[in-house]
Structure 1
Amino acid sequence: MPILGFNPTTTTTTTTMQKPGGGGGGGSIMAWNVFRFCTGLRALGSIMIVFVLGMVGLTYYVVVIANYGPALFHGGVESLSAFFALLLFHFLLVMLLWSYFTTVLTDPGGIPANWQPSKDEESGETGLLVGSGQNGADPGLRGGPADSRTRFCRKCNQLKPPRCHHCSICGRCILKMDHHCVWVVNCVGALNYKYFLLLLFYTFLETALVSFLLLRLFIVFFTDDGEVSGTPGTLIATVITFVLNLSFALSILGFLIMHIVLVLANTTTIEAFEKKTNPRWRFDVGRKKNFEQVFGMDKRYWFLPAYSEDDLRCMPVLQGFEYPTRPDSVEL
């Protein structure tokens, strides 16, 4: 099972250099873009999908076909334990693949053409326009009376909703962008962040389960305590699968913990680098409400890569355009 790393690349930086001896306007200017490899990352993403499916196929072969599948016919306690192991394995695999392809196929959220911020009901004003800084930080956020400014993206030449960032890899602004993930060939934003979190969750559970199921075989393989049946190819595949799944489980656990902390604080990976801790983040409206802004209010859907119709209808925050702020929040 693959690790789902992140790469919060959101801005494009251009540096100009003048050749020695070139004075005034007669010099030769050379511009270079440090994110010119973005096109390559798009191509790499397609390869990653094949790699993910390959890892799933290898794991399925080792666990189901080579080891626990045949154990179903041994009878007794061994058959019963193999049955429950395979049942849990297939359940987690289905949830993992469901979450994965939902993350891949769901648009993270873009800005509609001619989008305009909602007007203040009292003043009828939409606020001042504030351009993005050169370093990619967004100084203006429209969040309420204490902060009525509206941001503007110079790259897309359009207004930007709150918490929206420009992705250099996708070439457009993404609603509540967290990062661009090559493993899912997609940005992780407002509309698919929940699916990405569930992907991390189920991938960790699946890889941890596979590591546990293959641990005994791995130990026996390197000791003289017993013999392991199977062809040399099967034994090598089992060892490789155990090592990869254990490595990915430990790595994904770190990402999962990090994103849980971000969700409870109602921030994203990008915002964690931009904002600061004192005063308190103005979009932090309490852990329960922060959690619901990502997973919805319907508990039946919390662990499913989907939202209930009631949540989609009654929670505008799930659409990625407007976010409530703390009453005592101040502009950061």
Structure 2
Amino acid sequence: MLKRLAGSGSGARKGRRSIRLAMDLNPFRLCSGLKFLGYFMVGLVLGLIAVSYYAVVILTLGPDLLHGGFTSLFSILLVAIFHVLLVLLAWSYLMAVFRDPGAVPPNWKLLPQQDAAETSSSVELNATAIPQFCNRCQNGKPPRCHHCSVCERCVLKMDHHCIWVVNCVGARNYKFFLLFLIPSLIAVLNLAFVLSLLCFVVMHISLLLSNTTSVEVHEKKKGMPWKYDLGWRKNIEQVFGTRKVLWLFPVFSKEDLERVPALQGLDYPTRPDIINCERESEQNISGKGCELKVSENHMAVNDL
């Protein structure tokens, strides 16, 4: 018995040494160099905004303002529209750069067992039903949270690390990132850049409408509806807030920040029909009836 215990203890020590060795050899540590590249990118973006302003307002539309007549009035309209788009672009960009995407609170843990019934649909478990834990941060991982090797921390609802904004795109700044992309698409004059940026914008709009992140695309089970997909209207509200009048501006209302759990980044509403379906699948219950329940309930959710 003592030998068995000693053997298990040595095995645990070997496991811990293996984890430390893997972290020491972690190639993603090299990604930290992207931080310095990002500072250059911020200067590049601000420089491109300044060049665009000079090219459009000073060189192109400026001379037409002095001609008078219909040409002058039309140029005034274009200058006004350009200034609105430019302000929204710069404002959204700076918000995406400086707004924290959301970090896990220190010593974050799951709720006690007695409260588990209320959050059972939001608690992130792995395949063995063990709560997620980050070995690098030595902290718990809320649902939809992932570790960023560039920021060297876990980010709430992480989508990706963007070198253009020197920041992770996550729960609390994804709206600002999207609002930066759309005016950028209009401002880009080169056809090749327009096509590449258009593909990127379309991809993120599809992710927005399905309430999915770039990371979660690879985690979704094939043939199984996404548990966070609440219907396209509610999916947009999970990112942009419930105040539709503020959807086009890089701000949130105080009420949304307090009442929309997805904007806080620690808890997310899910479809109960999908949760029940996943549980039935884990218990090896026939999936045919489960799929029918999902499709019927999804129609009800989308009609809300």
TM-score by length of 2: 0.77
Which one of 156, 167, 181 corresponds to residue 200 of structure 1? 181
Structure 2 unaligned residues grouped into runs of 5+? 1-21, 283-304
Aligned to 2:245: 300
Within 5 Å, which residues of 2 pair with 1:1-332?
32-121=25-114, 142=123, 149-207=130-188, 211=189, 243=190, 246-330=191-275, 331=278
- Which amino acid counterpart does residue 247 of structure 1 have in structure 2? A
Aligned to 2:13: none
* Aligned positions, number: 253
| Cα displacement string for residues 134-170 of structure 1 (whole angstroms, at most 9, x for unaligned residues) | xxxxxx97169xx975210011111110000000000
Cα distance in 2, alignment partners of residues 288 and 62 from structure 1: 39
Structure 1 residue 302: Cα displacement: 0.8
Structure 1 unaligned residues grouped into runs of 5+? 1-28, 128-139, 212-242
Structure 1 residue 78: Cα displacement: 1.4
Cα distance in 2, alignment partners of residues 123 and 179 from structure 1: 30
Cα distance in 2, alignment partners of residues 203 and 317 from structure 1: 26
Structure 1 residue 277: Cα displacement: 3.3
Q: When you count strand as a share of all residues, which structure comes out higher?
A: 1
Q: When you count helix as a share of all residues, which structure comes out higher?
A: 2
Query: Which secondary structure does the structure 2 equivalent of 1:109 belong to?
Result: coil
Aligned to 1:225: none
Cα distance in 2, alignment partners of residues 148 and 304 from structure 1: 40
Structure 1 residue 94: Cα displacement: 0.2
Q: For the Cα contact (< 8 Å) 2:89–2:183, is it kept in 1?
A: yes
Q: For the Cα contact (< 8 Å) 1:282–1:325, is it kept in 2?
A: yes
Q: For the Cα contact (< 8 Å) 1:120–1:126, is it kept in 2?
A: no
Superposed CA RMSD in Å reads: 2.5
TM-score by length of 1: 0.71
Q: For the Cα contact (< 8 Å) 2:124–2:131, is it kept in 1?
A: no
Structure 1 residue 114: Cα displacement: 1.7
Q: For the Cα contact (< 8 Å) 1:143–1:323, is it kept in 2?
A: no
Aligned to 1:217: none
